[in-house]
Amino acid sequence: MPSFLGRVLIIAGSDSGGGAGIQADIKAVTMLGGYAATAITAITVQNTLGVHGVHPLPLDLIEAQARAVLDDIGADAIKTGMLGSTAVVERVAAILDSSGAPAVVDPVMIAKGGHPLLADDAVAAVRSLMIPRAALLTPNAPEAEALTGIAVADLDGQRRAGEALLAMGARAVLMKGGHVPGETVVDLLLTPTGETLLEGERFDTRNTHGTGCTLASACAAGVAQGLPLEVAVANAWAYVAEAIRRAPGLGGGHGPLDHGWPLRRDA
């Protein structure tokens, strides 16, 4: 039986600055009442000013971490983030197949500061191996464009790209709108049975480091807890919006969110 906590295995890279990657994932899952376990794919040398180094971990070590978690603790959902290479994508796809847990796939390609986090030749592997295994795919506009070849410059583009990703095998797609121009931010959740629009204030802030990681992991927490997908996504979306609004302004570049804001609200 699933844990009441909602067990989430996160397969992603580590961010030494704590704003994105595994660190943001753990914070988001924990704050939304889930239990976070991890399989780290790479160690990044990173702060708010950018990514200064990426050191991939061996394939067997990545898989060993995931197997250790799945064989003992188990998982009610798996969230994938930075994978980096075709070989890692292939290994993670095999892990997803053997686990049976629904996967929230964040197709991480480029860091906030512009550093590539996915090899060019691995995009095709994400397209062919990760998208068909996604219970929920969470691309931003540039990622959706790279995966589909469809321009995403407005809501219509979000819808067309999202529909293309559904046709490629994803069971649901959350088309993020942070990169799409407009006075508000519109995210679009598409499923084979319809769509849900999430629209909110666009904050004038530099503190958006880790928003994609945080949102995907927050969604995974809800999925792991057995919430209907629309509810899980709406809860995650509201959590991230408030985390951006309350961002503490750390560092000199793209600062992190306030992942722990519910603690101060409840106190």
d(CA 100, CA 122): 24
Q: Is 210 a catalytic residue?
A: yes
Annotated active-site residue in 212, 214, 219, 222: 212
> What strands lie across the sheet with 194-201, from one edge to the other?
50-56, 35-47, 7-15, 77-80, 103-105, 136-137, 173-175, 184-191, 194-201
21, 210, 222, 255: the active-site residue: 210
Catalytic residue among 48, 148, 208, 214: 208
Indicate which residue of 44, 48, 213, 222 is catalytic.
Answer: 213
Cα-only R_g, the chain: 17
Distances (CA, A) of 35 to 87, 103, 218: 28, 15, 11
211 as an active site residue: the answer is yes
From the candidates 176, 214, 219, 255, which is the catalytic residue?
176
**Consecutive H or E run containing 145:** helix 141-148
Q: Is 212 annotated as catalytic?
A: yes
Bridge-partner residues for 36, per DSSP? 8
Q: Which residues are the active-site residues?
A: 176, 208, 210-213
